Chains A and B, each alone.
Chain A
Amino acid sequence: MNFSDVFKQSNQLCKVSPDGKYLATCVQYRLVVRDVSTLQILQLYTCLDQVSHMEWSSDSLFILCAMYKRGLVQVWSLEQPDWHCKIDEGSIGLVSSRWSPDGRHILNTTEFHLRITVWSLCTKAVSYIKYPKACQKGIDFSRDGSYMALAERRDCKDYVSVFVCDDWHLLRHFETETQDLAGLEWSPNGCVLAVWDSCLEYKVLLYSLDGRLQSIYSAYEWSLGVKSVTWSPSSQFLAIGSYDEKVRILNHITWTKFTQFDHPSTINSTKAVVYKEVEKRPAAGSEDLSIHNITIGTTLFNTQSKYDICSLPVQIPVVKPDPDRANPKIGVSTLAFSSDSRYLATKNDNMASVVWVWDMQKMSLVAVLQQISAVRCFQWDPRRPRLALCTGNAKLYLWSPPGCVSVPVPSEGGFQVQSLSWHCSGDSLILLGKEQLCFCYMDTDQENK
């Protein structure tokens, strides 16, 4: 495993192009484009203000930089560095900005979600979409980029509009049976739209592409409901994580629950392996405290750690959330399927330092990773069943079915890994700290990890 040097970035804006060749990072008001393999700077662009959001177009030719405070969006071209494009939203403000799947339209959501403006870079034409809903996930593009689903709210009722991304033609517009729609997501095959209600009511509705309601799923009433929803890449499963610390899996044929994963605080009998991160104390002999070692500093501050396998029963530390506060830190907030739909990784918010890995073929727990500090981010390798996670310290943790490893990230100033993302080839990882980023190259012949 190789680690590159540490580079600067701001706002956690660091994205690899969809074709995997370039890496774009924002440093204050500058946009830096590097080559992924050599990390050489290829292009340097200067924006008018500090960049709040940055996104690659789907063909990897353009980069969008949005500055929400100023209400500006600047688009840069990789092929022609001289080409420029600036969209000024004026006094209507800007809250979010994104590309359309064809890479030629930009959708800007104005302040207060008054409307969505669709700017075309081909024709400089503008279209407007009224009454978009301000919710957790109100807009989603299907994976093949042909349809866009938008949540709307008119007259205290929720609607979903399906647009054809080719020419923004409104294909379907239907009312949903939700009290307060919180999010929607297309299935990876683009044929089913999952719509879920806010946490006050547990309700997940499944609509087919042409707007017919296929099924409604509600596990229970009254208690706080759905916290997170995710599709499996094969579109066979819909995983719903809720505030009752359980994950329910629906199957795509009958849309009924066929299994449920619990997150108990005591693990008693399971065939899963429980990994516990344990800090290896550095040998503190008198010779270690020489000036030489102190100036280097790495051995003192970056304690190494390793994984121990715990024997059952295992007690997991639980943090009870404050019952009076809204959005309590309890329930399954993060779900991720591996790319082959074989594994599901979950995190329960009141056991924030534990990641649970479930096997979908056997419908059982496969591994439990108990870290020292709270897990901040985890992501599956896009090619193989390998999970990378970070907990805000200077280490990178990897899990795959044979085993689990903890890798310290080399850096001089103490690089705290806040989030990570895989390169689309699965050969490298981008680690983001607060103001820094680091590239990590995996060995391609690590088959026995």
Chain B
Amino acid sequence: MPESSLVKDIHGTSAECRTSPLREFYQSSLQLHRSSNMFSCFCTEHNVQECASHISQELLSLGLTPVWTELSCRSELNVTAVINCMYDLIQLHRRSIRTLENLEVEHHKLSSNVAFLQLTSTRQTEQLEVCKRENAGLVEKERQLQLKVKSLQNAVRNEKEEVHKLQSIIASRASQYNHEMKKKEKEFNKLKEHLHQLLVGKKEKKQAIDVLNNIGRADGKRSLWKTEKTEAKHEGEMYRTLLSDYDARQRELEVENAEMRKVLQQMKKDMMSVLSSTKLTVTNDKQADDGVQADSGEEEEVLDSSKESVELHCVHAREKLTNSIRLQWRRLKNHVERLDSQASLAQVDESKTLAVPRETHEEEMNRLKLEIQQCKDFIQTQQQLLQQQLSSPCDEETGSLLSDRYMSQETERLREEWRTLEEQRKIFERERRNFTEAAIRLSHERKAFEEDRATWLKHQFLNSSPFADSKKPQMSKSKSAFLISETEASGTMDPEELVKCPSDTTSPAHGCFPLTSPSTAITSRTVPYPRKKLEQTEDKDY
């Protein structure tokens, strides 16, 4: 049968290339076909024509020459056409297998490529990671190096500054040295000049002292000879001075020390009292334990304080005092810290224990505010009353009465004073009149007396010598000048006295104006400068 030979041929070609799995699959399907005998299922003796037409239709669809034409009535197939068809189909099949093989190869290649690429990509991501890490490390190193560079730059700048400073120091020292050198050189030159002058033989003036007489020593004692005893005495004096100074200093330090110790003890007592009072208010177990410890500690310290005053100079007592103070201070500090933490907790919780004091606080505030208001009202009423008092335009009668009441006393007093002053003035006037009359009388009497005297003297001179005749008129003139000045003086005196009495103003003292004190403690003031004239006559020359 040609079909079986074809099958054999296919089997043979399939036996040649057994490489692809698809080929194997195809082979297995062929075997299946052979085993199942599929051909017999498709075409039987009854449906040959239908099968043939179906096949020819399929062949047409595939593009091959049809093998069965319906036009021909013969029921026999065109064998050559069928064989050609079969050959074409086999070629087609072979071609498709080849392409399948190629595709398989391609697929294989591509999958291996993919695998390779995947491998390389993982390797490269790893490399990238490594590079990134290296990069980060390098960046870090660079940053550190930058910092180092900056610090080194700072150091360089500092060094430069120091170098500048040292240079300026050197420069100033050098200028100082040069200056001193020049000074010394000048002095040296002067010395050389002097020496030269002496060597040349200029007349040397000797030293000499010329005292009128020796003066006594300042303390009046006689000077002593210089002996070993005096030297020892001087040494003794010196050491005595030093010792007394040391003594004084030690005493001062002791006093200071004692004060400090007192202060420390006081502090210790205060701290202990504070701690003990707080211990009573606290009820915590832990704190009670501490309190128990504090108790025992306090007992020890109470015992110690009595001893301390005696053993103050002992080092141990001092240490004990300082240690006990340190202990107390630590306890106090802990306590305060605890209180602080408690307060902060309480604030956060907003417990009732705080509300109670807050309420009392608010009550206090309200009470105080009320008090303030009351006081303010009181002040206002007072002010109003005062205003009414002062102005009082409506109530004039009472106002005038009141003012009269206040003023009448004053007016009475002033009237009395005025009366007394008037009386005094009258008395003074009277006395003045008396004085002037007396003065006039006196002058008259004096004149008469002088005239008498003059005449008497005239008589005397006339009797005694023949010359005296010119002196008398001079004497009388001078005496009259004296008289005139007297009357003038007496005349001018009285009104001054009168003027001075009633007035209270004092004339400002000549000369010194005291510096007025500044109103605020700090501001400045300039002073008016009056002159106080002192002895001038001889001073002009000097």
**Inter-chain contact B239/A210, CB cutoff 8 Å:** yes
A residues in contact with B25, CB < 8 Å: none
- Picked from B209, B515, B538, the residue with its CB within 8 Å of the CB of A449 is B515
A residues in contact with B214, CB < 8 Å: 121-124
**Inter-chain contact A146/B237, CB cutoff 8 Å:** yes
B residues in contact with A280, CB < 8 Å: 526
**Inter-chain contact A1/B215, CB cutoff 8 Å:** no
**Inter-chain contact B523/A403, CB cutoff 8 Å:** yes
- Picked from A89, A117, A326, the residue with its CB within 8 Å of the CB of B175 is A326
- Picked from A3, A39, A58, A222, the residue with its CB within 8 Å of the CB of B169 is A222
**Inter-chain contact A223/B529, CB cutoff 8 Å:** no
Does chain B have a CB within 8 A of A287?
no
In the assembled complex, the CB of A391 is this many whole angstroms from the nearest CB of chain B, namely 15
In the assembled complex, the CB of A178 is this many whole angstroms from the nearest CB of chain B, namely 15
- Picked from B173, B210, B219, the residue with its CB within 8 Å of the CB of A224 is B173
**Inter-chain contact B176/A402, CB cutoff 8 Å:** no
**Inter-chain contact A2/B511, CB cutoff 8 Å:** yes
**Inter-chain contact B218/A190, CB cutoff 8 Å:** no
Does chain B have a CB within 8 A of A285?
no
A residues in contact with B217, CB < 8 Å: 102, 104, 122
**Inter-chain contact B242/A1, CB cutoff 8 Å:** no
Taking CB atoms and an 8 Å cut-off, the chain B residues in 163-201 that contact chain A are: 166, 168-169, 171-173, 175-180, 187, 190-191, 194, 198
- Picked from B216, B524, B532, the residue with its CB within 8 Å of the CB of A404 is B524
In the assembled complex, the CB of B516 is this many whole angstroms from the nearest CB of chain A, namely 10
- The answer to whether residues A327 and B194 also contact, given A3-B529, A7-B542, A210-B238 and a CB cut-off of 8 A, is no
**Inter-chain contact B176/A224, CB cutoff 8 Å:** yes
- The answer to whether residues A408 and B175 also contact, given A8-B542, A122-B217 and a CB cut-off of 8 A, is no
In the assembled complex, the CB of A139 is this many whole angstroms from the nearest CB of chain B, namely 19
- The answer to whether residues A307 and B171 also contact, given A39-B535, A41-B542 and a CB cut-off of 8 A, is no
- In the assembled complex, the Cα of A306 lies from the Cα of B194 at a distance in Å of 55
- Picked from A59, A85, A209, the residue with its CB within 8 Å of the CB of B218 is A59
- In the assembled complex, the Cα of A404 lies from the Cα of B212 at a distance in Å of 52
- Which size bracket describes the interface of B in this complex? 35 or more
Does chain B have a CB within 8 A of A316?
no
Does chain B have a CB within 8 A of A325?
yes
B residues in contact with A200, CB < 8 Å: 173, 176-177
Does chain B have a CB within 8 A of A309?
yes
- In the assembled complex, the Cα of A323 lies from the Cα of B218 at a distance in Å of 51
Residue of B nearest to A101 (CB): B218
Does chain B have a CB within 8 A of A155?
no
B residues in contact with A289, CB < 8 Å: none
- The answer to whether residues A82 and B212 also contact, given A3-B529, A167-B224 and a CB cut-off of 8 A, is yes
A selection of 12 A-B contacts at a CB cut-off of 8 Å is A5-B533, A39-B535, A71-B205, A87-B210, A102-B218, A104-B215, A111-B190, A122-B214, A126-B207, A126-B209, A169-B231, A405-B526
Could you list which residues of chain B lie within 8 angstroms of chain A, going by C-beta atoms? 166, 168-169, 171-173, 175-180, 187, 190-191, 194, 198, 202, 204-219, 223-224, 226, 230-231, 234-235, 237-239, 241-242, 245, 249, 253, 511-512, 514-515, 517-518, 521-527, 529, 531-536, 538-539, 542
